[in-house]
Amino acid sequence: MKKGTEKDIDCLPNYKEPKFLGEKEKYPLILLPYQPLMVLENGSQNYPWAQEIFLPMAGVGWETLVEINSETAKTLKLRDGQLVWVESPFKKVKAKVKFSEGVHPGVVAIPSGQGHYSYGKWQKGIGVNPNEIIGVDYDTISGQAAFFNTRVKVYRA
């Protein structure tokens, strides 16, 4: 064994602080672009029967909803169903807000799968794509693409 390497190996599980893109003071919330059940591959929203049941938890389709905890929304003075801007250090998107109790108070969850510029009659121009506002970064430990480390702020449109 090479001298000194035994110090670098973590034999026990340990904690490392995650790194986020954006300052915490300016962008208080963390963006979580998640994949809903009806999204299988690129283009699966081009079936109108699948498009109209896109978000079964909210009971709607044909759009993207910004899901936010009602406690957080109260501090941001938002109303349910209002149009909001979600702004990251890189870009911002506009969508309808939906209060959801299943979301962590520090997180904004936006479903991916909508927001196509083309690629079919039924999905073109519907909703927004949360991957547009996330930054390009890599996970510091595994080196994989990091999708969930962008900080955002939400305000009324």
Q: Residues in the site for another protein, rule: CB under 8 A?
A: 37-38, 48-53, 56-63, 69, 71, 100-105, 126
- Which is nearer to another protein, 76 or 126 (by Cβ)? 126
- Which is nearer to another protein, 51 or 88 (by Cβ)? 51
- Which is nearer to another protein, 33 or 61 (by Cβ)? 61
CB of 55 to another protein, least distance (A): 9
- Which is nearer to another protein, 60 or 76 (by Cβ)? 60
CA–CA dist 60, 53 (Å, integer) = 6
In Å, what is the CA distance from 61 to each residue of 57, 128, 146? Answer: 10, 13, 28
CB of 57 to another protein, least distance (A): 5
Q: Which residues pair with residue 138 across a beta bridge?
A: 145
CB of 11 to another protein, least distance (A): 33
Nearest to 109 by CA among 29, 53, 25: 29
Torsion, CA 4, CA 7, CA 10, CA 16, rounded to 10? -120
Q: Which phi and psi (to 5°) does residue 31 adopt?
A: -85, 135
CB of 82 to another protein, least distance (A): 16
CA–CA dist 105, 41 (Å, integer) = 29
